[in-house]
Chains A and B, each alone.
Chain A
Amino acid sequence: MKLINFEFLKLRKKSRGWLGPILVFILIMTAFPLTVEILNSNLEQAFFSVLWIATLLVMMLATEDIFLEDYNDGTLEQTAIKYDSLALLVAIKIFVYWSLIGIPISLIGALYAFGITGSIESALQILPVLIITTYIFLNIFSFGNALSLTKGSILGTLITMPLVLPLLVVLGKVVIAINLGISFLGFLFLLLGILSIIILILPMVISFVIKAHLE
């Protein structure tokens, strides 16, 4: 519980850490209609693609220094000495980032979905998909960030990019299901399944990677 409070305090007080990605997301979602002819049908066609890509990019941006700051100032060293496992810290960090960045972006994304499609049903259907997807993205990009901790975060994130491509395919199928009005619950459970595996395995893998960097 103490670790959760500390991580919330750190991210909350570092406003550029959580507010920056949210503002970038709003900027992308607000600016994209300017590049499309102002007809509702055109907007609707492009909206979901832009939503997924914006979510992906913003999650990548959000994890840019998820471990780097703690590595540079020695906090990770202290945590590694104090606790037997760094995996708990990693899992908590990702959870806090998801709470302060992933969930707000999911809510804003759903709001935009309502604004563009005019359908509250679509917005409510897209919300749980966004909530799960942002958590998955954060885990995967945190892994990438840990891989290239001392070599610049973008390199590691790019290495992990192929891991998110199958997810984009699933997200595309979700949108088709929503647009056709057929059940998308199968895809939602698939995403939940992916998430449950990822949140169990990746924090442990990331903690090994970080320990290797600390040595």
Chain B
Amino acid sequence: MKKILAAENLSYSINEAKLFQGLSFELHEGNALHVLGSNGSGKTSLLRIISGLTKPTRGIIKKYNTKNICFVGHKNALKQYLTVEDNISLLEVDKHIDLNIFLEKLELNNLLDVMVANLSYGQQKKLALLRVFLNDSDLLVLDEPCVGLDKNSKNILCSFLRDQKEDKKALIFSSHLSLDIDSEFINLDKVTS
């Protein structure tokens, strides 16, 4: 299996507070990595470092054959004053062949003319997750992807992520909820000093 990503001796501090230190791991295609840890342990920071948004205090991230990274964080990157349809075009998934299938599965197909501001939090989360469902990425980085999702949507997401693993995509996620995905674990509480 090809290596997708390698973290070497990663450390991250905010001011004087050390979140994690000396963290090393590798991620291969078809692998999933579940990042665990208590609040403030650095899960989001780690995912942002992997996405390239944040620089680690020490250590490096090496990416191999990674063309695109799909990142979904706490912020949905949706425009509240635009309709669902407009937001879909901003997500650049409007031409995707599977768009209608996922709109139907996520029960968003009848909401295309609705302003995002008028959607519930869960519906907005599902709309943001279209970026994941219709991705063209080798590496999926998801920060608490199930927050706000109902049981059906959570099952759709888990099933999709399992399929992505089978398609040899790499996956790294943090979640307080248990996800039915075969994955390795990193517990940041145990690497924090």
Contact = CB atoms under 8 A, between A and B. Distances in A.
Contacts of A72: 75
A37 interface: no
B55 A81 contact: no
Interface in B78-116: 78-82, 86, 89-90, 92
Contacts, number: 50
Contact of A215 (B53, B77, B82): B53
B53 A214 contact: yes
B149 interface: no
A45 interface: no
A78 B79 CA distance: 13
Interface in A176-215: 214-215
B78 A73 contact: yes
Interface string B122-161: 0000000001000000000000000000000000000000
A14 B73 CA distance: 25
Interface in B25-70: 51-55, 68-69
A2 B54 contact: no
A20 to B, nearest CB: 14
A80 B55 CA distance: 13
Interface string A1-14: 01000100110011
Q: Majority SS of interface residues in chain B?
A: loop
B79 A10 contact: yes
Q: Majority SS of interface residues in chain A?
A: helix
A80 B53 CA distance: 7
A74 interface: yes
Interface string A148-170: 00000000000000000000000
A65 interface: no
Nearest to B83: A13
A215 B55 contact: yes
Q: What's the interface size class on A, roughly?
A: 10 to 19
A215 B54 contact: yes
Contacts of B73: 74, 77
B92 A2 contact: yes
B79 A81 contact: no
Nearest to B49: A215
Contacts of A81: 51-53, 69, 71
A75 interface: yes
Given A6-B90, A9-B86, A13-B86, A77 B81 contact: no
Nearest to A72: B75
B13 interface: no
Contact of B76 (A6, A74, A215): A74
Interface of B: 51-55, 68-69, 71, 73-82, 86, 89-90, 92, 131
9 contacts: A9-B89, A10-B79, A72-B75, A73-B78, A74-B76, A74-B77, A75-B77, A77-B75, A214-B53
